[in-house]
Structure 1
Amino acid sequence: MNALVIGGTRFIGRHTVTELLDSGYAVTVFNRGNHDDPFEERVEHVEGDRTKRTDLERAAERDLDVVIDCVAYHPEEVRTAIELFGDSRYVVISSGAAYGSEEIPKREGETALHDCTAEQATDDSQETYGPRKAEIDRVVSDAAADGAEAMSVRPPVVYGPHDYTERFDYWLDRVDNHDRVLVPGDGDCLRHLVFVEDVARALRIVAEEGAPGAAYNVGDRRLPILSEWIELAADALDTEVEIVTANERELAVADLEPDEFPLYRSYPHVLDTHRLSALGWEATPIEEALARTIDEHRASDRTGRKNGPDREAEERVLSVLDTL
């Protein structure tokens, strides 16, 4: 079986290439070559820009069974890819952010998706990310109705080794380096996360077994609240921390707001994963996922500190809370 991964050297794409190689695929990676290549001769490389049709056409010259698209951010990019790779089973990474309705849990085919205007479809801002991913899912569905074997996978926030976003690294760094960890709200923020290796396995399974036109949620089986994540991280790091919660008024003494903290969300975000599980997919136990994540985190130079409040500001809040 021959597979092409669009992307493939940084985070989800990197783990997807590994998953495919471990599953016996011959893998070609298509990207711009801007990042270090961890695979070298184990995979074939095609250098190009996925936003340029002529570059994608060169990649499409191969006899491909599976195409996994890890870096599609605009609907037109997906239309082009499905057209060019029409003889392959195509899977694109969508997002849990595609859902436009706050329901618990969010279910494929039931929970409404965001609308997407023509202006949003070509925008690059974070504000239009969810609408663009929703439109990508509609492109997949429409293409399948015309005979394409195209599917999508919707993850929430992804964590694990080589996470260049460093959102999860922020909390690991706090737990690893401080005795007290400041947590917004009551520490009960519930945001579905997913281990990156589980996303990679989901992409392969959907490529092999998924129904054309379908979207598949993927997420951890367990859903710890934020304070529980910190406790789990402390156990995995073999340390102890005091979790100190702060409401909006208490955070305001240092001009902080809850949503300045990585992974915070005021309303629970939960994805139903039964559709994916029916294909034989299973989530990695969180303790195992954390152990692998932490091993790589400590070996890296990532701290995630740029993603959250300065420690000095947190100390100001902690000092005020100590006087109450």
Structure 2
Amino acid sequence: MNVLVLGGTRYFGVHMVEALLQKGHQITIATRGLKKDNFGNRVRRVVVERTSPRSMAEAFCGRFFDVVCDSLAYCSNDVKYALDSISCKRYVMTSSASVYDLHVDTKEGDFNPLVKPLKWCNRADYPYDEVRRLAECAAFQAYPSQNTIAVRFPFVIGPDDYTNRLYFYVEHIVKGIPMLIDDIDAQMGFVSSNEAGRFLAFLAEQEYTGVMNGSNSGTISLQEIIQHVEEKTGKQAILSNHGDNAPYNGGVDYSLNTKLASDLGFCFSPIRPFIYDLIDRYLELAGK
């Protein structure tokens, strides 16, 4: 297949492109051209400003792709600029679990993008969770004939995580820096960057349309993460109301139901072995 990837030069986008290449697909990656990639001559490249309708139209008007994998569709205008400019058989957009009012065993039907009123907006117009909802609304309401799937991920983690959110906890414990954590016992869901990328590549080849959760199985709390670091280092976390605000604050007990993904043939691995291995890698980076 001829696949266009919007955003494929870092994080789970890299894993997605690698998986698509391994499956023998012809890949074009579209970015602003600011970050180099390691794909060499295995991919074609297009330089485009994703948030500019003129730039998108100039880059893609008249071009057809079997699949568009869009990891940069944060708001409704992002979806509009893509689907008004690019002709494709299938549109795979990366969404977020932030569209939900999260709870344990959150299912896809807990947020329906077809019933929420569509508003055209840019990324800064509303809070993150709202622009994510409106991006889905745009895809399914404004382009009903388009074969589309929106993939809802929780926090993505991995050794290539440029946000350093999980590393924050490791570094603060190792260096004895106080942290402010609002709910240390909340059970949360995560997905590894590698599996997120492979899942998107898998869905590019399917016919399923609609929305789908993607998450490693099981949940884990910050308490368990901190205990693992403490056991490995012999140091105690310093928790303080005056400490640095921790990245995953504001969370609630939640998990994503991934039965639809498993029914389609993709089974996610358990989160705990992966996250503990990842923490051990972070400990090496932190000098422990």
TM range (shorter): 0.7 to 0.9
2:149 aligned to which of 148, 151, 173: 151
1:272 aligned to which of 257, 264, 267: 257
1:1-324 equivalences under 5 Å are: 1-57=1-57, 58-59=59-60, 61-99=62-100, 101-111=101-111, 118=119, 121-124=121-124, 128-143=127-142, 145=144, 147-175=145-173, 177-178=174-175, 184=181, 187-212=184-209, 214-232=210-228, 239-243=233-237, 246=239, 251-252=240-241, 254=242, 256=243, 260-286=245-271, 287-288=273-274, 290-291=276-277, 295=281
Partner of 1:315: none
RMSD across aligned C-alpha pairs, in angstroms?
A: 3.1
Please tell me the residue identity of whatever aligns with 1:229.
Answer: I
Deviation at 1:36, TM superposition (A): 2.6
- Structure 1 vs Structure 2: percent identity of aligned residues? 26
- Greater gyration radius: 1
Count of residues in Structure 1 that have an aligned counterpart in Structure 2: 283
Contact 1:180 1:241 in 2 (8 A): no
Please tell me the residue identity of whatever aligns with 1:104.
Answer: V
TM-score, scaled to structure 1: 0.75
Aligned-partner Cα distance in 2 for 1:201–1:233? 29
The structure with more helix, counted as a fraction of residues: 1
TM-score, scaled to structure 2: 0.84
The structure with more strand, counted as a fraction of residues: 2
Aligned-partner Cα distance in 2 for 1:69–1:154? 13
Deviations 1:174-215 (A, max 9, x none): 35x347985735631222111111111221222222522x11
Partner of 1:319: none
Aligned-partner Cα distance in 2 for 1:74–1:180? 36
Q: Which moved more, 1:263-272 or 1:159-168?
A: 263-272
Please tell me the residue identity of whatever aligns with 2:130.
Answer: P
Aligned-partner Cα distance in 2 for 1:88–1:297? 45
Could you list the runs of 5+ residues in structure 1 that have no partner in the other structure?
302-324
Give the SS at the match of 1:276: helix
Please tell me the residue identity of whatever aligns with 1:138.
Answer: C
Aligned-partner Cα distance in 2 for 1:104–1:173? 29
